[in-house]
């Protein structure tokens, strides 16, 4: 059995649905192909991340309650696509519309010369971002809320002192 790196393009696509749940916080980038099954384009990437929801419908081959994913197809290098995904998953369970707004400055819609369908092409340098897993994100939010409450308590104490 060959062990694949999480960031390798073929890793995520071949996982069964149950195993995809382990990687849903970070998302995955894999080669989508971009053609109609005939030609595989090496610069077409599908970026996929968890929506934070589970499905409520039953399909014949999929179990009830499977994790639902959001995905976008982008054209560029693998490193650029991974950088875009890191921007998206900086906040856990980001919705599709919000993700499109975040990557909009780095995307240009282009069509083939023959007037074919339009596609998202990555333009310009994408800023690097460090990935924060959901547990670390929640921990930071808890600390931030704690310090906000301390500040409010301090302000309340000062207000009480001014009333005397």
Domain that holds residue 105: 9-129
Confidence at residue 147, expressed as pLDDT on a 0 to 100 scale: 95
Whether 20 and 89 share a structural domain: yes
- Tell me the C-alpha distance between 58 and 109, whole Å: 36
Residue 19 has what pLDDT?
66
Give the count of domains, the chain: 2
125 assigned to some structural domain: yes
Same domain, 90 and 141: no
d(CA 122, CA 147): 39
Residues 75 and 142 in one domain: no
pLDDT at 1: 32
65 belongs to a structural domain: yes
- Sign of the C-alpha dihedral computed for residues 152, 155, 161 and 164 taken in this order: negative
Mean pLDDT per 10-residue interval, the chain, length 164 residues? 46 65 70 62 82 67 67 87 86 86 89 72 78 77 94 93 75
| Closest by Cα among 72, 29, 27, 69 to 52 | 69
Q: Identify whether residues 35 and 17 lie together within a single domain.
A: yes
Do 121 and 147 belong to one domain? no
Q: State whether 69 and 140 are in the same domain.
A: no
Is 87 part of a structural domain of the chain? yes
CA gap 164, 80 in Å, rounded: 61
| Domain co-membership, 73 together with 153 | no
């Amino acid at each position: 059995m060959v062990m694949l790196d999480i960031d390798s393009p073929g890793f995520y696509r071949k996982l069964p649905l149950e195993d995809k749940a382990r990687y849903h916080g970070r998302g995955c980038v894999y080669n989508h192909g971009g053609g109609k099954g005939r030609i595989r384009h090496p610069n077409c990437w599908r970026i996929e991340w968890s929506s934070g929801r589970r499905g409520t419908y039953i399909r014949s081959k999929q179990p009830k309650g499977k994790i639902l994913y959001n995905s976008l197809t982008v054209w560029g290098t693998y490193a650029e696509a991974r950088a875009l995904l890191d921007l998206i998953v900086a906040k856990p369970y980001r919705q599709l519309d919000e993700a499109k707004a975040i990557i909009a400055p780095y995307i240009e819609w282009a069509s083939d010369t023959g007037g074919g369908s339009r596609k998202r092409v990555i333009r310009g340098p994408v800023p690097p971002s460090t990935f924060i897993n959901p547990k670390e994100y929640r921990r930071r939010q808890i600390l931030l809320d704690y310090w906000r409450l301390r500040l409010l308590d301090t302000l309340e104490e000062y207000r009480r002192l001014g009333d005397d």
